[in-house]
Amino acid sequence: MNNNKEDKILLSQIEDRIRQCEERYMMTHTHFLDLRERSLAEQTVRFRAGLRYDFYGGYEEAERVIAVFLPEYAEDGPAAAFFAADPESDPLTVIRMELRKGSPVLTHRDYLGALMGLGIRREMTGDILVRKDGADVIVLREIAEYILTHMAKAGRANLSVREISISGLAVPEQQREERFASVSSLRTDSILSAAFGLSRSGAAEAVRAGLVFVNGMEASKPDRLLEPGDKLVLRHKGKTVLKSADGRTAKGRIRITLIRYR
């Protein structure tokens, strides 16, 4: 199945959820979307007059999110506020997996592999937040009971598994560092090159390959100019924020400050 066919299926599903929301006056949502799917969804819905939507992944910086469509009667505000006021309507929940005594520390890949081993599709699971003593896994509520019943091990580790509310989610503090650099311009490929140590041509190729996202939207042109506050994601490598662009060097290059997240 090629991406074009997959995209058409996704867009058809989004249209179906929107129609259900409008015709039945109820909240509807998609399955979990990755960065590219979110970008595609946003391009589809952002100019729909009167449509109330949000992208929600259980916490503010979630990478994997669902698209939520809210009915007219819902108060203005983000989906998180809607669900906080009515937790029973929240389509997401958290499976807390804790390592039993003597178990080795596991990685993101270990937890994901164990879930896939149960036959759970990736679209049913959101971010996996790993700690030394276990992980919090955000999932669609509809599969929570199945995981609780069948998830006893991940890799060589034995697990204790329970469900907790989204409000109890343990979000690890992200490691970040501030970097200073100079660039010839604030083009996307220039900032990408400075942030991730790529050549200018390599950065431009990453954009053309669909691996770069600016503020959640897939970057389509290497020469797009960025502004302070813009968030830049290079898929599989990490994200950075252009904190500031102040002053010039003696050679006329722009001094920038980047916040790099790991």
User: Over the chain (262 residues), what is each successive 10-residue block's mean pLDDT?
Assistant: 77 95 94 93 88 94 95 88 92 97 92 96 97 96 97 92 94 85 94 92 93 90 93 89 91 92 77
76 and 99 in one domain? no
The pLDDT value recorded for residue 3 is 61
Q: Give the end of a domain, one of 86, 106, 141.
A: 86
CATH number at residue 24: 3.30.1370.160
- In sequence order, the 6+-apart residues with CB closer than 8 A to the CB of 20 are 26, 28
DSSP 225: B
Q: What global pTM score does this model have?
A: 0.84
Query: How many domains are contained in the chain?
Result: 3
82 and 39 in one domain? yes
181 and 155 in one domain? no
247 and 205 in one domain? yes
Distance in angstroms (rounded) separating the CA atoms of residues 27 and 6: 24
136 and 76 in one domain? no
Please report how the helices 188-196 and 200-208 are oriented relative to each other, as an axis angle in degrees rounded to 10.
Answer: 110
- In sequence order, the 6+-apart residues with CB closer than 8 A to the CB of 102 are none
Supply φ then ψ for residue 56, to 5 degrees. -135, 130
> Among 151, 188, 181, 194, which Cα is nearest to 249's?
181
201 and 147 in one domain? no
The pLDDT value recorded for residue 176 is 84
The pLDDT value recorded for residue 96 is 97
Residue recorded with tokens 């994200």: 239
CATH number at residue 227: 3.10.290.10
255 and 180 in one domain? yes
68 and 104 in one domain? no
112 and 76 in one domain? no
In one-letter notation, the amino acid at residue 150 is: H
> Strands 28-33 and 65-69, how do they pair?
antiparallel
156 and 140 in one domain? yes
In which domain, by residue range, is 107 found? 92-168
111 and 157 in one domain? yes
Q: Give the end of a domain, one of 168, 192, 207.
A: 168
CATH number at residue 126: 3.30.70.330
Question: What element of type H or E holds 241?
Answer: strand 238-248
Distance in angstroms (rounded) separating the CA atoms of residues 226 and 189: 10
Dihedral sign, CA of 84, 79, 216, 138? positive
The pLDDT value recorded for residue 1 is 40
7 and 57 in one domain? yes
Note whether 216 and 55 are within 8 A (CB). yes
Q: Give the end of a domain, one of 124, 144, 168.
A: 168
